[in-house]
Chain A
Amino acid sequence: MSFFDLDFWVGVGIVAGIYGIFTLGLQLNVGFTGLINLGQAGFMCVGAYAMGMLVVDAGWPLGLAFPAAIVIAVAAGALVGLASLRLRADYFGIVTIAFSEIVRYVFQNAAFAGGNQGIIGYDAEWRAFQSWASERLAAIGLGEAAEVPLLVAVWATLLLCLAALRALQLSPWGRVLKAIREDEDAAAALGKNVFAFKLQSLGIAAALATIAGFFLAMNVTYLYPSEFDPSFTFFGYAVLILGGFASYGGVVVGAVLLCALTEGLRFLDLPLSAGQAGSLRFIIVGLILICLSMFRPQGLLGSKAEMQLRA
């Protein structure tokens, strides 16, 4: 009965990293551009499936299929953006969630995507890299858990994306983005093409969703539509609000804390039936979401001043 099982917590670290990359995209949209993107899971689905189908059906090497999948997902993001970015913020949110549901149903029913049999066999090259890396790690004593290479790869990518987004945020481009979040009309009056910036923000979010989708696909080794359920996006929002509004660093902290909490609750040993324990886990996550949003809306690392100035 060991709570501190290495395999388990390496697994939690991987999931936290995947949610981190996924939510960086959300943060760019919500925290820095003012777009309520409810379809991030849909972009992840497009990206992951594109990568899977290119490798399995078209026989592409992973090294080519993955960047191509990012391009395809960004194109999907641009398409959604072109169609709906002129809508009011909450309408835009509803269009994006409808988009992500349509994508999920298409991949569940369309014959070309393996129907609801899903896609398997795209991770051969990754498995080879993983075993090669495991030997290297074993040589330096880290060979215990099989998934450490995936953990290292996920977190290296997450920190890279974090640094890139932070640099972008400090750049003039980031400044305009934040101005658009503050007041679109004023930004337009200063000559900023608001629509183009929103489109770029959505496109980058789609790319980040694809990167998260890539690692999710490698983690579960099988692409299946229910992995890209809207609840994935909702959990991403919980990570965002826990970490802190308009704070990229907060996303990483939020992802680690929330994943550690929800997975750690699996060890909660109460005299309850399995079903009740399962429900309790989610009740606790739900209550945290409510209390955070009510009493600490800026989350852990968000700035309270900015929140108040904007409200």
Chain B
Amino acid sequence: MTATRKAGEPILAVSDVTKRFGGLLAVDRATFAVAHGSITALIGPNGAGKTTLLDLVSGYDRPDFGAVRFEGRRVDGLASYRVARRGVVRTFQLTRVFAAMSVRDNMMLGAQRHPGEGLHRLAFSRAAVRRAEAAARERAERLLRAFALDAKASEYAGALSGGQRKLLEFARALMAKPRLVLLDEPMAGVNRALGAKLLDEVERLRREEGMTFLFIEHDMDIVMQRADRVVVMAEGQVVAEGPPEFIRRDQRVIDAYLGRRGNAA
């Protein structure tokens, strides 16, 4: 399911995006681009504005200034549910699963444009609803198996461990067949082995379904091995952008992020 792609045009273009909370300038004229089918890491010290930027891109919050374009069309200012419907799905830093609902139900909520979610369709096109429900259930089962959560399908999501919740939130995001997935520290609290499996799944989805990933990550090993581009933020500004090897040597990055702590990563 590869989207129509104008040659060379990035899937996501962030230009001069600014956001202020009272006196605090959380994001300051951030400008960068994410290429189709790329796995881009967004790194930077705590408080650099990474999560705020993700909120601005996903419509969870509205930028004070600047533009966010997804597949060439502006999305800043749209409500978060409209951005999601355009094919941009996100996960949260503090995982947000529907605790009092089963793992399977959590997954089923990921399905997009489900006819069963409209009262009129429920009443009049019951066949379409049944078909969509079956398709969504089949995709959910497959994803749950991929993330080793199928055994827990009928348990309450609230009963899962921190790591399992992270995986569930990620799997749920994939339910929507998104074209761009924004992950906020997907590996936090996930054990090494399961983390590697998750990243393999990311690469498989990029290869087979052409999905693009932008993820916030603190673990430099993962960034260096898995990301094909890196965007570095510090104090609300994008200080550097480029392939991982280039970023490792860039002086600005070292000062802004690595250097300040004195020891090389």
Task: State which of B24-32, B67-75, B95-103, B217-225 sits at the interface with chain A.
Answer: B95-103
List B contacts of A185 (CB < 8 A).
Answer: 60, 80, 92, 96
CB contact under 8 A between A306 and B81, given known A173-B119, A176-B109, A190-B89: no
Contact at A173–B117, with CB atoms within 8 Å?
yes
**B100 contact from A187, A189, A190, A310, Cβ within 8 A:** A310
State whether A310 and B99 are in contact (beta carbons under 8 Å apart), knowing that A173-B117, A188-B79, A189-B58 are contacts in the complex: yes
Instruction: Report whether B98 and A179 are in contact in the complex, using a CB–CB cutoff of 8 Å.
Output: yes
Give the chain A neighbours of B98 by CB distance below 8 A.
178-179, 182-183, 186
Instruction: Say whether, besides A175-B108, A200-B119, A189 and B80 are in contact (CB < 8 Å).
Output: yes
Bound-state Cα–Cα, A305 to B89, Å:
30
Give the contact stretch, choosing among A35-43, A55-63, A114-122, A191-199. A191-199
Q: Across the two chains, which residue of chain A brings its CB closest to B91?
A: A189
Q: Mark B135-179, 1 if CB is under 8 A from A, else 0.
A: 000000000000000000000101100000000000010001000
The answer, yes or no, to whether A293 is at the interface (CB within 8 Å) is no
Residue of B nearest to A303 (CB): B100
Residues of B within 8 A of A309 (CB): 99-100, 156, 158-159
B226: CB under 8 A from chain A? no
When the two chains form their complex, are residues B109 and A187 in contact, meaning their CB atoms are under 8 A apart? yes
Question: Which residues does chain A contribute within 8 Å of B108, judged by CB atoms?
Answer: 172, 175
Do the beta carbons of B101 and A183 come within 8 Å of each other? no
Considering the chains assembled together, what is the distance between the CA atoms of A190 and B100 in angstroms?
17
Q: Is the CB of B172 within 8 A of A190?
A: yes
Residue A131 at the chain B interface, CB threshold 8 Å: no
Point out the residues of chain A lying under 8 angstroms from B119, CB to CB. 173, 200
Contact with B along A267-311 (1 / 0, CB 8 A): 000000000000000000000000000000000000001100110
Q: Is B114 an interface residue (CB 8 A)?
A: yes
* B106-117 interface code vs A (CB 8 A; 1 in, 0 out): 001111101011
Q: Which residues of A contact B159 (CB under 8 A)?
A: 309
Q: How close is B102's CB to chain A, nearest CB, in angstroms?
A: 10
Give CA–CA (A193, B82) in the complex, Å: 8
Does B89 contact A189, Cβ atoms closer than 8 Å? Answer: yes
Q: Is the pair B112, A191 in contact by a Cβ cutoff of 8 Å?
A: yes
Q: Which of the listed residues B81, B111, B114 has the most CB atoms from chain A within 10 Å of its own CB?
A: B81
Among B85, B97, B122, B132, the residue within 8 A (CB) of A191 is B85
Tell me which residues across on chain B come within 8 A of A168, comparing CB atoms.
122
Q: Across the interface, which residues of B come within 8 angstroms of A262, CB to CB?
A: none
Q: How far is the CB of A30 from chain B (nearest CB, A)?
A: 14
Decide yes or no whether B118 CB sits under 8 A from chain A: yes
Contacting residues of chain B (197-255) with chain A, CB-CB under 8 angstroms: none
B116 cross-chain contacts in A, Cβ below 8 A: 171-173
Q: Which residues of A contact B105 (CB under 8 A)?
A: 175, 178
Interfacial chain B residues near A188, Cβ < 8 Å: 60, 79-81, 84
Q: Give the residue name and chain of the A residue nearest to B90 (CB).
A: A189
Contacts of B99 in A (CB 8 A): 182, 309-310
Q: Is B16 an interface residue (CB 8 A)?
A: no
Query: B129 contacts which chain A residues (CB < 8 A)?
Result: 171-172
Contacts of B133 in A (CB 8 A): 172
Q: How far is the CA of A175 from the CA of B100 in the complex (A)?
A: 11
Task: Determine how close the nearest CB of chain B comes to the CB of A192; give it in whole angstroms.
Answer: 6
Q: A189-B89, A190-B84 are in contact. Are A171 and B122 (CB under 8 A)?
A: yes
Contact B114 A189 (CB under 8 A): no
Chain B proximity of A104: nearest CB distance (Å): 30
Of A175, A185, A187, A194, most buried by chain B (CB within 10 Å of CB) is: A175
* Alpha-carbon distance A207/B158, docked complex (angstroms): 34
Q: Chain A, 190-214, contact with B by CB distance < 8 Å: what is the 0/1 string? A: 1111100000100000000000000
Within residues 4 to 21 of chain A, which ones have a CB less than 8 A from any CB in chain B? none
Instruction: Out of A179, A189, A200, A305, name the residue touching B92 (CB < 8 Å).
Output: A189
A176 partner residues in chain B, CB cutoff 8 A: 109, 117
Chain B residues with CB below 8 A from A194, complex form: 81
For A187, what are the chain B residues with a Cβ–Cβ distance below 8 Å? Answer: 81, 109
Residues A183 and B96 in contact in the complex (CB < 8 Å), given A188-B84, A190-B84, A190-B176: yes
Enumerate chain A residues within 8 angstroms of B176, measured Cβ to Cβ.
190-191
CB distance from B100 to the nearest CB of A (A): 4
The interface residues of chain A lying within 8 Å CB-to-CB of B118 are: 173
Chain B residues lying within 8 Å of A189, measured Cβ to Cβ, are 58, 60, 80-81, 84, 89-90, 92, 96
Hey, which chain A residues are within 8 Å of B79, CB to CB?
A: 188, 193
Q: A182: which B residues are within 8 A, CB to CB? A: 98-101
Q: How far is the CA of A179 from the CA of B41 in the complex (A)?
A: 30
- A178 contacts across to B, CB distance below 8 A: 98, 100-101, 105
- 30 pairs of residues in contact across A and B, judged by CB atoms under 8 Å: A171-B122, A172-B108, A172-B117, A173-B116, A173-B117, A175-B105, A175-B108, A175-B117, A178-B98, A178-B101, A178-B105, A182-B99, A182-B100, A186-B97, A186-B98, A187-B109, A188-B60, A188-B80, A189-B58, A189-B81, A189-B92, A190-B110, A191-B85, A191-B112, A192-B117, A193-B79, A306-B100, A306-B156, A309-B156, A309-B159
Across the A-B interface, give the 4 residue pairs with the lowest CB-CB distance, nearest first: A172-B116, A309-B158, A191-B84, A186-B96
